Amino acid sequence: MSALCVPLVFKPVYKDYIWGGERLAAVYGRTDTPEVCAESWEIAARPDGESIVATGPFAGRGLTELSAEYGAALVGTRAPDPHRFPLLFKVIDARDRLSVQVHPNTENAERTGGEPKTEMWVVLDRSPGASLYAGLAEDVTPESLRRSLADGTTATQLVEHPIEPGQALFIPGGLVHAIGAGCLIYEVQQNSNTTYRLFDWNRVGADGRPRLLHIEEGFKTLDWSLPAPRMIDPAGGDRAGTGWSEVVACDYFNVRRLNLAEPLDVTMDSLSFHVLFVTAGAVAVSVGGERVLLRVGQSALVPAAADVYHLEPDAAACLLVTTL
């Protein structure tokens, strides 16, 4: 067994974007957030957001460094590059709505020099009446979308989705989308930070000027063949019961929900790491002689080389488990 076969818990990387709020502190009891906290990068390996191991034998080491050193033992043999961590995990607190935006996909990223970014969202909480925007309304054309960007009526061009906690939404690269005000979201995405803003609700930045838009890059990136997605309400091991249920599966990641009332051993297959995020209750994770307790709103990474890890819930618990 590799020496890396222990649960890795990281220090969150916080982002204080203008649309953020205070819910990460209020809901999860975090005391280290900035006054305005838009995003917590839970597990990331990027120059603009590097996860550092918080505890245990690898404390102080970065995820980029560990990925480069341990390769497939960390990320798994399914990873496209065994020495680069392939995904990025966030918790997003949208006090205000995010910009209307689009990310590149594998087919069109070279047009703008951006990185492909397919993502998915799980609704952790929401204010009454909150919604998500994803996809274009019927009969929208490039011409009508451009007009709406110019005259501030872009919302009429988008599909708005009412939401409930526990629901999910899949956002492939090339799909126009926005997170509405009042949403607390768990996001799983490709390891990319390329975002093209098409419209920002006539908002100004901290300097009092309109925020930068990327309309031409966005139009080169937008995939007009993509239909508006539907909200996903996972079946199978439902939120009131126990067991596994699939949330989103795509070429880049597989996200499942695990409702847990009894201890459970989870077998690994060396193909992928497992990333755990606790949405309810608390869970002790044990592997390689190390044990960590994850409370609601906390994350851990189990390296791919682990044979099996043990989960012990504190009463009933719910986790989101992501693999490649």
Active site positions, annotated: 197
Give φ, ψ of 70 to 5 degrees: -100, -15
CB atoms within 10 A of CB 233: 13
Calculate ∠ Cα 107-270-106, nearest 5°.
5
Tokens representing 264 are 């459970």
What end-to-end distance do the CA atoms of the chain give, in Å?
Answer: 21
Residue in the block written with tokens 């996200």? 255
| DSSP single-letter state for residue 129 | T
Three-state DSSP state, 26: helix
Select from 168, 172, 166, 320 the least CA-distant residue to 231.
168
